[in-house]
Chain A
């Protein structure tokens, strides 16, 4: 761990305790999207916030050392593609876009509501990574501009 980047040791220590809670809460919101308030988008936002939390506390290089940014791009596009594919499978099975084609299960249990949980997971993957990517590009672009300004390239 690089002590010089990011925030103070207090923030880093607290972050180590809280970031998993935030991440797991996001997963919970996505998986229980069809039962409780929230869903794919809300859960995805919470997951992306856990990444933002890490980046703020440990500096922007911390995350990049462990994960490639292209992986996030792939998950983002894959999530959206998965949504469309689930919709097309609905056409293949029942003849209508986004129609339900798997068992609806027992009411109020985790395994219920047909394809809606799958769609929530797809949206969660898309929203979570996309929001973090927006944050990431704003952060890197900002330091790029500051660097150029100090070198006198941009007036």
Chain B
């Protein structure tokens, strides 16, 4: 049973680094890298393992039975998220090896990074509402500290803002879990889902509202997005790519999908709210990006816009919409991680984030420039890169579901996306040179990580080819759309029967 080790290994590594590697920073980096590789292999193996286990593996803590104990549920959706977390985090750890040359206290960085992975893996696996809250807090607390890692005034302010917003959203989630517990007397997600089938109480709408706001704050949907353009750019580049690429997806989008589709059975009111908020995020994020001159802030607003696309796909509620949403989720984590790493490399070389002080970098930093171009083309939806296919699926799904206007908005924002990424390319890598000199060359691990991610931007397009799609993305879509299977597992395990 490999399920609990996704949480145990990074947790153990975090405190091991704190215990033995405080003076020896190379050991801290080595432990983090080894853990990254192990988790990467384990997560890919877990996806393979599921096909022999009817698509789900359950694990119960301390040998107690299900509704009483905390259970971990590994199904295709969890496994898919674990793969995204571990691949991006492995590349981010590799990137940090040399990126952190400018920083002190490397062991703290890696220990906090391991804790963040612990929290995210826990969120992806847990089958228990209170445990979900605890793991969200573990990853968020490490994220707050990592955003403030540089200890500059701006970074501390961003981390403080992030912490306040995070605390508000966590409070809402905790309240809604409390209300659910008062209705059903259970915290196990599958058990809550089973008991809610016969529940007619109106108070459930309060739970829906709190959860949408709580998880919406974490995934930066538009009325709740104000913290993201501050917090994500302030962090060191590998952390920005983890936050924008993975954290908001696991804590916000994955948790919303798991709770609303598998436990609450995809209520219509939720889908409509998410659909509207998704379109608003898409538009507002895109327009705000156009106006930015700070390269990482532009990427931050771009995340808001792309999250809008994912929610548009989810809100449609059709199999094709969900397929597009999860494919875009995967693609966005790849190219947004790449783009943040590009911005980090430029910042490393020039020590500025202002695009007005860049220009003409394509000759000085050829690898950064090329990979950044691939990332920009992917996110703008240019074939043959992965972003094209996921956006196309979402747009087709909109038309199929009878919402041609939404499809029109998606196309329009796709053009705006292309516009602001061309602006970024023009002012950063092409055009007139506005900087005096390059302070430092981009080191080896930064270049390698960017090349790997740029390769993934092309390679992940194959997931949509018929034949491969059926054994990968379709399996994940089935888990989301199957409203009964997640609940079914609890029935043989119920103690006594209530």
Residues from chain B with a CB closer than 8 A to the CB of A76 are: 18
| A56 CA / B1 CA spacing, docked (Å) | 50
Q: How many residues in A have their beta carbons less than 8 Å from beta carbons of B?
A: 20
Q: In chain A, residues 87-105, which have Cβ atoms closer than 8 Å to a Cβ of chain B? A: 87-88, 90-91, 94-100
B62 & A97 in contact (Cβ 8 Å cutoff): yes
Q: How far is the CB of B57 from chain A (nearest CB, A)?
A: 14
A97 & B18 in contact (Cβ 8 Å cutoff): no
Q: Check: B11 CB closer than 8 A to any chain A CB.
A: yes
B63 & A94 in contact (Cβ 8 Å cutoff): yes
Q: How far is the CB of B264 from chain A (nearest CB, A)?
A: 29
Is the contact region of chain A dominated by helix, strand, or loop, or is it mixed? helix
Residue of A nearest to B16 (CB): A81
Is the contact region of chain B dominated by helix, strand, or loop, or is it mixed? helix
Contact of A84 among B1, B11, B62 (CB under 8 A): B11
B62 & A96 in contact (Cβ 8 Å cutoff): yes
Contact of A98 among B11, B18, B61 (CB under 8 A): B61
A88 & B19 in contact (Cβ 8 Å cutoff): no
Contact of B63 among A77, A84, A99 (CB under 8 A): A99
A88 & B22 in contact (Cβ 8 Å cutoff): no
How many cross-chain pairs have Cβ atoms below 8 Å apart between A and B? 44
Residues from chain A with a CB closer than 8 A to the CB of B19 are: 74, 77-78, 81
Q: Check: A73 CB closer than 8 A to any chain B CB.
A: yes
Interface size class of B (residues with CB under 8 A): 10 to 19
Q: Check: B483 CB closer than 8 A to any chain A CB.
A: no
| A96 CA / B60 CA spacing, docked (Å) | 7
Q: Check: B8 CB closer than 8 A to any chain A CB.
A: yes
Q: Check: B406 CB closer than 8 A to any chain A CB.
A: no
| A81 CA / B18 CA spacing, docked (Å) | 10
Residue of B nearest to A114 (CB): B62
Contact of B12 among A78, A81, A91 (CB under 8 A): A81
Residues from chain A with a CB closer than 8 A to the CB of B8 are: 84, 87-88, 97
Contact bitstring B1-22, A, C-beta under 8 A = 1, else 0: 1001000100110011011001
What residues of chain A have their CB less than 8 Å away from a CB belonging to chain B? 70, 73-74, 76-78, 80-81, 84, 87-88, 90-91, 94-100
Can you list 8 residue pairs at the A/B interface with Cβ under 8 Å? Answer: A76-B18, A80-B18, A81-B12, A84-B12, A96-B59, A97-B4, A97-B8, A99-B63
Q: With contacts A77-B16, A87-B8, A97-B8 known, what are 9 further pairs, Cβ within 8 A?
A: A70-B22, A73-B22, A76-B18, A95-B63, A96-B61, A96-B62, A97-B4, A98-B62, A99-B61
Report the 7 A-B pairs with minimum CB-CB distance, sorted nearest first. Answer: A77-B18, A77-B19, A80-B15, A81-B15, A96-B63, A99-B63, A99-B62
